[in-house]
Structure 1
Amino acid sequence: MELDNIHRLLAKQIKKHLSDDCLKNPAFQNFINAVNDSYHGFDRDKELSEHSALLNEKEFYEINQKLKNEILQRKESVQKLIEAINLLETPESDASKIDDNNLSSLVDLLQRQIHIRKHIEAELINAKEVAETATQAKSEFLSMMSHEIRTPLNAIIGLTYLMQQEEQTPSVMENLKTLQFSAENLHLLINDILDFSKIEAGKVDLEEMPFDLKLLVSNIKKANQVKAEEKGNKIKLMLDDDIPATLIGDSLRIGQVLTNLVSNAVKFTLNGSVTIEVSVVKKDEEKASIYFSVTDTGIGIPSDKQKLIFERFAQANSETTRKFGGTGLGLVISKKLVQLHNSDINLESEVGKGTKFWFTIDLRIGTTLKQQITSALTEDDNDVSLEGVKLLLVDDYFVNIRVASKFLEKWKVTFDTADNGLVALDKFRNNEYDLILMDILMPEMDGYTAAEKIRETGTEIPIIALTASATMNNQDRAFSVGMNDYVTKPFNPKELYHKIAKYSGRI
């Protein structure tokens, strides 16, 4: 019998216990083969069993690790959920119900808090809409009040100016000066309120126009000279020779800040001095950093009140308001205008010794100003004759027409009048004019509509808004319908003269 394929354990037993004769017996050989197959079968089953056990152990380990990770993630999720609930400032009654092991209760609690937050968010949205509606109502109210106050004020200031040009007795002239002073003060108060409203609404954009800074500051000094002399004050002006001849910026807003600081210094100083200093801190070929300061020897500001004066409707104390007047908005407006230039106003003051305000603004350097721009900043426009200019004056308020007519007659301007946009449109179609002075708020047809219809004819005739409506919305709309320029009532006669000369081609 061949023993090569015999299982090693069976072969070992055969050699030990069986003789060669037994192995030669065919029947015994069949038995041995059957036993041999059993041995081999057992080994295969054992090997499969061991392999299967090894696989089950690996799978068990992997499943176990997965369960551990899931449990850890659940704990972390629950913890984050609890932290989120705590951040929602959960009421104590709900906070006491937080159970780390009850995920369902945590989710319910979170859903309740989300519902509460959604309700609060809806209330906030509603409050925002109410606030926006109130802001719009305020803007409309300011626009209307501006128009209603400026309309009669235009007549008062205009007629006062005209009467001062005529021969008057000393007592009448004194009364006229008092009237003019009061009217101009009222005008300044209205401008302060409107400017503050525009700045708060973010409706003020700085212009980029060439201007002569030295001339601007000199004119501000001149404008405050008379008032300073009345109070026994001297205004000193210190201008750096290194200031560029032409700078690019918003001369109107820079002038507004300086005018406010200088007029305040004059107002709060008696028998003293006000010093205006403008100098170059540094400059290169493209821009210059300009230092401005206004120093007075006036009443001064207590240290504990120095921040207060930059708050709206505030002055150092109530006695100051009663004694010197004002809205308490001037410095607030000035500060915000300087901040629009990416700078800020600084202050030094000592009670009884005076006050100093200063700030620095970066401005681009421009080329030499054209002659017509320079003349616009001077008072030489009246050397240009307006005789022969023909214009259409549109206004529904008869007093305004009378005031404007007196100026136009004095300047030898030929003109027609219209009391609403409909009449103006008809006169425009049947006559030839060099320009139109257009009021905005009128019955029948307002100035906006009239301007649009005039522009629809394809004409390029200059249209200047001459109106008491001074808000930014009114100005923006005026330009959008095709008007060329904007003059606010009460108008400055020199400004109106210059606009007429400019748009009629006389300069």
Structure 2
Amino acid sequence: MAVSRAGAKGMAKRKKAGGKARKTETRRPKSSGRLPAVRAMEAALAGVAHDIRTPLTGIVALAELLSASDLGTRERGWADAIKSGADHLAQIVTLLVDAVRADAKGLVIREEPFSPRLLAESVGEALAARAGNKSVAAEIFIGEMPALVTGDALRLRAALENLADNAVKFTREGSVRFDTTVTKAVRARMRLTFTFTDTGIGLAPADVKRLFKPFAQANEDVARRYGGAGLGLVFVRRIARAMGGDLTVASKPGKGSTFTLTALVKPAKAVSSDAATAPGGTPSSLTILCAEDNPYGRVVMNTILKELGHRADFVESGQAAVKAAAQGGYDAVLMDVALPDIDGLEATRRIQALPGKAGQVPVIGISGRGGPDHERAARAAGMNFYLTKPVSPSRLAEALAMIAARLRA
């Protein structure tokens, strides 16, 4: 479009006179529009995470039970590979959602009771399984660990699994080693230290610096030979620092690497020595009410609970759960948060409001959303435990063992 000289002068004058105000006006839509875009992305990722975690719940749980059963060496290797792959997918989902949320809000760490020894043993088993598939020797040394602590077990395990995966990934021959220690820290906390040492390719100092830049590999040769998005260690360090610790690396080219992750946790009162019982070894049989609307989810959960030695009754809605709980006779309730009619939170509130023993039954919340806001809402509703999908049978066994111990007390 042609503009006359006079018109151009007028436009220039108006621009000069009102340029400052115009700049402010053009910036506002950008900044105000970014927040809704971020929220929309978070909502989309949360939805994707929920869809992915639904089948992963069954895959991880059944693979864990299969690994604990009487299998031949070859079949056990297959079961371990299935579980390892499903675990890794679950960690990718968690880290992806954390990446977006942390960019906008900062990473908020959850506080829940867990057994650091069981967590370390699980990581060690996964490391040994990965190493065995490459004919690399694996050495696991788990020192004295507290019976029970409180912290973010989900993210801590995701971080450790990432380090274990890298240790094997970059080691063609030789060995990988996993060590754990615990020391006292300030304010009655404990410092958990996890060390992964490998005899792999090693790194030069310049390459080490690049490790903690998003979407960057150590160098082009590593990216070409080993692949990966270059995001894992960025989020592992973010998790460690959010938990009051850090992630450090010592490495030499051709000599291998040592990654050390530290995290601060609070001591938790252990209800009994068997409060952290692995799948298949829960000491007391419980009668459990399970609210789950997904048919596949009911089959999987029933399989897990039977394997743990418990008996379960299933309902498909929140209202049905309240009605069944009111009749009494249950030692615990497994409550899916996402249910038709009333959700699991409202159902829990109504159960807690029931008179007598029926209103005192412990409730274990199960959800595909692991954000701190969701957990706080669950706790406020009266849930005693909050497990995120995919639910590990060992973590569920820990919660049920704690309930059993309280019933015996």
Q: Normalising by structure 2, what TM-score?
A: 0.77
1:425-482 C-alpha deviation (Å, 9 max, x unpaired)? 2323344422211112222222222223333446232221123233333323222322
Tell me which residue corresponds to 2:248.
346
Q: Distance in 1 between matches of 2:367 and 2:388?
A: 5
**Please, which runs of 5 or more residues in structure 1 have no aligned partner?**
1-92, 98-107
1:233-382 correspondence runs (5 A): 233-236=136-139, 250=151, 252=153, 257-276=159-178, 293-316=195-218, 320=222, 324=226, 326-340=228-242, 344-358=246-260, 370-372=269-271, 375-377=274-276, 379=278, 382=281
Q: Which moved more, 1:353-362 or 1:220-229?
A: 353-362
Q: Distance in 2 between matches of 1:490 and 1:280?
A: 28
1:234-278 C-alpha deviation (Å, 9 max, x unpaired)? 4456789xx997997747366654443343212211222334566
Specify which of 367, 374, 384 is matched with residue 467 of structure 1. 367
How far 1:158 moved relative to its partner?
A: 3.1
> Match of 2:176, as an amino acid?
V
Specify which of 133, 142, 152 is matched with residue 230 of structure 1. 133
Q: Distance in 2 between matches of 1:168 and 1:211?
A: 27
Contact 1:143–1:471 (Cα < 8 Å) also in 2: no
Tell me which residue corresponds to 2:304.
407
Tell me which residue corresponds to 1:145.
48
Distance 1:172 1:452, change over 3 A: same
SS in 1 for 2:360: coil
Contact 1:343–1:361 (Cα < 8 Å) also in 2: yes
Contact 1:300–1:352 (Cα < 8 Å) also in 2: yes
Tell me which residue corresponds to 2:96.
193
Contact 1:467–1:489 (Cα < 8 Å) also in 2: yes
Q: Distance in 1 between matches of 2:90 and 2:292?
A: 20
Contact 1:211–1:251 (Cα < 8 Å) also in 2: no
SS in 1 for 2:325: helix
Distance 1:468 1:217, change over 3 A: closer
Pick the structure with greater CA Rg: 1
**Please, which runs of 5 or more residues in structure 2 have no aligned partner?**
1-8
1:423 aligns with 2:328: no
> Match of 1:405, as an amino acid?
N
Tell me which residue corresponds to 2:108.
204
Larger relative contact order (Cα-Cα within 8 Å, sequence gap ≥ 6) = 2
Name whichever structure is richer in helix by fraction: 1
> Match of 2:39, as an amino acid?
Q
Distance 1:254 1:191, change over 3 A: closer
Q: Percent identity between the aligned chains?
A: 27
Q: Distance in 1 between matches of 2:70 and 2:183?
A: 50
Q: Distance in 1 between matches of 2:72 and 2:180?
A: 42
Tell me which residue corresponds to 2:86.
183
How far 1:183 moved relative to its partner?
A: 2.3
1:82-114 C-alpha deviation (Å, 9 max, x unpaired)? xxxxxxxxxxx9xxx9xxxxxxxxxx999x4xx
Tell me which residue corresponds to 2:4.
none
Distance 1:118 1:135, change over 3 A: same
Q: Distance in 2 between matches of 1:261 and 1:363?
A: 20
Q: Distance in 2 between matches of 1:284 and 1:478?
A: 30
Tell me which residue corresponds to 2:399.
499
1:385 aligns with 2:290: no
Contact 1:315–1:328 (Cα < 8 Å) also in 2: yes
Q: Which moved more, 1:119-128 or 1:472-481?
A: 119-128
Contact 1:155–1:400 (Cα < 8 Å) also in 2: yes
Tell me which residue corresponds to 2:388.
488
> Match of 1:142, as an amino acid?
L
